[in-house]
Amino acid sequence: MPAASPYYTPEHESFRDQVRRFVSEEIAPNIDAWDEANTFPREFYKQAAEVGILGIGYPEQYGGVEVPDRFYGLIMVEELSRAGSGGIMASLFSHGISIPPILAVGSEEQKQRFVAPVLAGERISALAVTEPSGGSDVANLKTTARLEDDHYVVNGSKTFITSGMRADQYTVAVRTGEAGMGGVSILVIEADTPGFSRTPLKKMGWWCSDTATLYFDNCKVPAGNLIGPENMGFISIMRNFNDERIALAAQAHGLAQCAIDEATEWARERVTFGKPLIKNQVIRHKLVDMQMRTNAVKAYLEQLVYRVDQGESPIAELCMLKNLATSNCEYVAGEAVQILGGAGYMRGAKSERIFRETKVLSIGGGASEIMKDLASRQMGH
C-alpha cells in the first residue's frame, strides 16, 4: 500500500475506519450476489444514511453530514472501492449529481421536499441529462418543457440514466427556450407523473447499478418543480461537473488500488513451477509499474481536491486528472487480470469486475476525448 498522505488528520482516519467497517460488514459479503441480481436492496440506502455515509458533505439542516473538506468524500470513495464494485457507488450515490443543482439554486421549500428525504435514504434521486441524440452535448438537448398555466408539459427522452429504474425523482434538464445553452432549464420530475415511463438497459459492467432510458409523453409537471430561474439551468448543470469528475477520478484510483491489492495477494499465494508467482521478476515489475502509476494518480487527485477546497476551479487540470485516473484504471485492471490468469477471468474476482467496469469511467462525466478538447481550450490552445 502507498504511504499515508499529509492531507489527512486523525479525524479523517477515524472516518476511514468507520467506512471500512461498513464496507467489510455490509457490502463485501453481498456484492457478488447483488451484481448477479442486477440490483441491491432498497433498504441499503437507509442503512448508508443511518451510518452517515449517504449524506457526507451535505448541509445538516437537510439531514446531511457537514464536513470541513472534500477529503472526507475522497476517503469514502477509496474505502467503498475496496469491495471492487463501481456499480454500488454509482447507484447508491446517484444523488451526488442530482441534488447539487437543487441545493445551489432551489428554494427552501424545494430543498425540504426534494433533498431531505433523499439524504434520509427514503427516496432515490437521479440526474437525467443525456439524450439518445447526444451525450456530452448538453447545450443542444432536445427534451422540451412548455409552460401551460400552472404546469409544464414535458416531451422527449433521456438515456443511460443511473438509478433510472428505481429512482423516485429525477433532476431533468429540459429545453424551455431558444436553441443552445441559453434555453435550458431544470425540472424535478417525479416517477409517478402520468405520461412518464422507463425501460431498463443491460450493461457491460456496473451490473448492480440499474440504468434506464426515460420517456416523457406529455408529462404534466407542476411549475413549482422548476429549479432556479427558467432558461438558467445550463450553469447549474455545468457546476456539477467539477465534483463529478473528481468523484470519477477518485473511483478510478480506488478501484485500481483494489485490483493491485488483489493481484499482489494472489501473486504471493499462487505457486507455479515450485515457487510463488511473485518470485518471478516479470510479476514483481508488473506490480511495481501498477503501483507507481496509481501513486501518481493519487498525488494528482489529492492536490486538485485541496485546490478545489481552496476555492479554485482548475477545469483543465480536472479534465486531465479524470483522463489520467481512468486510463490508469484500465491499464491496472488489465494487468491484474493477467497476473491472476484464468482466475482473473472468472466471475467473483474483483479484478474481473473492475476490468469490465473501467470503460464506463472513461465515458461517463464527459468522455476522454471531450475532456482533452475542453482542457485544450481552457489552456488557450
Percentage, residues of the chain above pLDDT 70: 98
pLDDT of residue 237: 83
Q: How confident is the model at residue 127 (pLDDT cuts 50, 70, 90)?
A: very high
Report the pLDDT value the prediction gives residue 174, as an integer from 0 to 100. 96
- Say if residue 303's pLDDT is above 60: yes
pLDDT attached to residue 175 = 96
Q: Please give the share of the chain, as a percent, with pLDDT higher than 90.
A: 90
The C-alpha angle with vertex 62 and arms to 12 and 50, in degrees rounded to 5, equals 55
pLDDT at 5: 65
At residue 238, the pLDDT reads 81
Contact 327, 334 (CB under 8 A): no
DSSP string covering 237-277:
HHHHHHHHHHHHHHHHHHHHHHHHHHHHHHHHH-EETTEEG
d(CA 280, CA 286): 10
What pLDDT, on the 0 to 100 scale, is given for residue 302?
97
Tell me the pLDDT tens digit for each residue of 314-326. 999 999 999 999 9
Q: State the Cα–Cα distance between residues 81 and 23, nearest whole angstrom.
A: 9
Average pLDDT rounded to a whole number, residues 153-174? 97
* 244 is annotated as an active-site residue: yes
Instruction: Read off the pLDDT band of 21 (50, 70, 90).
Output: very high
Q: Dump pLDDT digits (tens) for 238-276.
A: 888 888 999 999 999 999 999 999 999 999 999 999 999
Q: Say which of 131, 244, 317, 352 is annotated catalytic.
A: 244
Say what the pLDDT of residue 331 is.
98
Q: What is the mean pLDDT of residues 193-202?
A: 97
Kindly report the CA angle at 113 between 109 and 115, in degrees rounded to 5?
105
Q: Which residues pair with 175 in a beta bridge?
A: 144, 184
Residue 56 is classified by DSSP as B
| Residue 112 pLDDT > 70 | yes
Mean per-residue pLDDT of the chain: 94
What's the confidence (pLDDT) of residue 283? 97
Task: Please provide the DSSP assignment of 291-306 as one string.
Answer: HHHHHHHHHHHHHHHH
Backbone angles phi, psi at 116, to 5 degrees: -55, -45
Query: What pLDDT does residue 2 have?
Result: 46
- Full-model pTM: 0.93
Selection from 139, 163, 152 nearest residue 214 by Cα = 163
For each of the domains in the chain, give its residue range(s) and CATH number, in order of start: 10-103 (1.10.540.10), 123-231 (2.40.110.10), 235-378 (1.20.140.10)
On the question of pLDDT at 359 being above 90, the answer is yes
Mean pLDDT of 85-109: 95
Cell of 351: 479484478
pLDDT value of position 135: 62
User: How high is the pLDDT of residue 348?
Assistant: 93
User: Residue 140 has what pLDDT?
Assistant: 83
Alpha helices by DSSP H, the chain: 10-22, 31-37, 43-50, 71-80, 86-92, 95-98, 100-105, 108-114, 116-119, 233-269, 281-309, 315-340, 350-363, 368-378
Q: Give Cβ neighbours of residue 316 (< 8 Å, ≥ 6 apart).
A: 374, 375, 376, 378, 379
Q: Which amino acid is at 18?
A: Q
For residue 220, the SS3 value is: strand
Grid coordinates in use for 76? 469514502
List, for residues 131-155, the tens digit of each pLDDT value.
998 766 777 899 999 999 999 999 9
Average pLDDT of span 52-75: 95
Confidence of residue 168 (pLDDT cuts 50, 70, 90): very high
pLDDT of residue 240: 81
User: Which pLDDT value is given to residue 1?
Assistant: 45
Q: What is the DSSP string of 141-182?
A: ---EEEEETTEEEEEEEEEEEETTTT-SEEEEEEE-SSSSGG
